[in-house]
C-alpha cells in the first residue's frame, strides 16, 4: 500500500542498519527518499541498491548540516518526513571516560541530531513528521553506557520540546527507542565473533520475547509515525525492546 505517496523523506545515516531498512520501507510505501552519510562510497552504493537519492553529509558538523539543508532545498524544495537516525556508540566507565570519546558521541548523537532538526525546520511542510532514533538505554542504566545513554536521553528531551514548538504547524515529533537490534553497529565495535556471540546471548537472556529486534521492525514503526494512522501522536517515545524494560 502506497500510503506515503507524494511524500519526500530525508534519512540521516541511511547506508546501513536501521537507516537503510527505513529507506527501503518508506520507498516501498511510495515516498521519495533521500539518504545521507559521511562515506561517499558507502552512501552511493546504498542509494543505488535502494533506488533513492544519496547526499554526503557529516552529522557531527553544523556547517555540513547547513550545506545539506541548502542542497535539499535546491533539489526538492520542502520535505514531509525527517528521520534523524545517524548515531554512534561509545562505551566507557565514567572513571575511564576520555574527553575525545565524550565529544565524538555527543557531536553526532546530540549536537548533530539537534542541529539537523534546527536547520531543517524551515524546510518541513506543515503537517510533516519528524522521528528521532533514540534507544532504550535513554531510560535504563548499564555500566559503561553513561555517555551514550546521556546522548539519547538528551534527544528525548529535545523531541518533546520540539513537539510543543512545532505543534502550531501540525508538525509531529516522536522518537523510536529500540532495544537490542540486529544491525552492523555491534560488529563495528571491533569485537571477535566469540565475544559477539556471548554478548548477544546475554542480551537475549534479558529480553522476555527471547529474541533481538530487527532493523525492519524499527523501520515499520518509523513509517507508522510518518503516516496518517499516527496523525494524533506527537511528543511520544515508543520503546521497542521485546519487553526488556519489564524484566
- Say how many Å lie between the first and final Cα of the chain, rounded: 36
Among 212, 149, 205, 156, CA closest to 181: 212
Cell readout for 120 is: 531543517
Bridge partners of 130, per DSSP, are 82, 173
Q: In terms of Cα–Cα distance, which of 53, 227, 31, 237 is closest to 129? A: 227
H helix count then E strand count, the chain:
8, 9
Q: How far apart are CA 98 and CA 100, in angstroms?
A: 5
Q: Are 75 and 32 in contact (CB under 8 A)?
A: no
What does pTM read for this prediction? 0.94
pLDDT in tens, the chain (247 residues): 688 999 999 999 999 999 999 999 999 999 999 999 999 999 999 999 999 999 999 999 999 999 999 999 999 999 999 999 999 989 999 999 999 999 999 999 999 999 999 999 999 999 999 999 999 999 888 899 999 999 999 999 999 999 999 999 999 999 999 998 887 666 666 677 788 888 888 889 999 999 999 999 999 999 999 999 999 999 999 999 999 989 7
Q: Which residue has the cell 506515503?
A: 4
148 a catalytic residue? yes
Q: Can you tell me the distance from the alpha carbon of 15 to that of 147, in angstroms, rounded to the nearest whole number?
A: 24
Alpha helices in 29-131 (DSSP H): 40-50, 62-76, 99-106, 113-120
Cα angle: 52, vertex 56, 61; to 5 degrees: 140
Could you tell me if 45 and 30 are in contact, meaning their C-beta atoms sit under 8 angstroms apart? no
Active-site option among 20, 114, 148, 224: 148
Centroid of chain to Cα 147: 17
Judge contact between 240 and 217, C-beta under 8 A: yes
- CA–CA separation, 148 vs 89, rounded Å? 6
The dihedral sign for the CA sequence 93, 95, 100, 106: positive
The angle formed by the CA atoms of residues 112, 113 and 119, to the nearest 5 degrees, is: 85
According to the CATH classification, is domain 8-182+216-237 in 3.50.50.60? no
Q: How far is CA 65 from the centre of its chain?
A: 15
Amino acid at each position: 500500500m502506497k500510503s506515503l505517496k507524494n511524500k519526500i523523506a530525508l534519512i540521516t545515516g541511511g547506508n546501513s542498519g536501521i537507516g537503510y531498512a527505513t529507506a527501503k520501507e518508506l520507498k516501498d510505501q511510495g515516498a521519495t527518499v533521500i539518504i545521507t552519510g559521511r562515506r561517499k562510497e558507502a552512501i552511493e552504493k546504498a542509494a543505488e541498491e535502494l533506488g533513492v537519492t544519496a547526499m554526503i553529509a557529516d552529522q557531527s558538523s553544523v556547517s555540513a548540516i547547513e550545506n545539506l539543508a541548502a542542497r535539499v532545498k535546491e533539489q526538492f524544495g520542502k520535505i514531509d518526513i525527517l528521520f534523524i537516525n545517524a548515531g554512534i556508540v561509545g562505551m566507557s566507565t565514567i572513571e575511564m571516560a576520555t574527553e575525545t570519546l565524550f565529544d565524538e558521541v555527543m557531536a553526532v548523537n546530540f549536537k548533530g541530531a539537534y542541529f539537523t532538526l534546527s536547520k531543517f525546520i524551515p524546510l518541513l511542510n506543515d503537517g510533516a513528521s519528524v522521528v528521532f532514533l533514540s534507544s532504550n538505554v535513554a531510560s535504563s542504566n548499564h555500566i559503561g553506557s553513561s555517555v551514550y545513554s546521556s546522548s539519547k536521553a538528551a534527544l528525548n528531551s529535545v523531541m518533546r520540546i520540539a513537539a510543543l514548538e512545532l505543534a502550531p504547524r501540525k508538525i509531529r515529533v516522536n522518537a523510536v527507542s529500540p532495544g537490542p537490534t540486529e544491525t552492523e553497529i555491534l560488529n563495528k565495535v571491533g569485537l571477535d565473533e566469540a565475544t559477539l556471540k556471548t554478548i548477544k546471548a546475554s542480551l537475549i537472556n534479558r529480553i522476555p520475547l527471547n529474541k533481538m529486534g530487527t532493523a525492519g521492525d524499527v523501520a515499520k514503526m518509523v513509517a507508522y509515525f510518518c503516516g496518517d494512522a499516527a496523525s494524533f501522536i506527537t511528543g511520544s517515545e515508543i520503546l521497542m525492546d521485546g519487553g526488556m524494560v519489564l524484566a
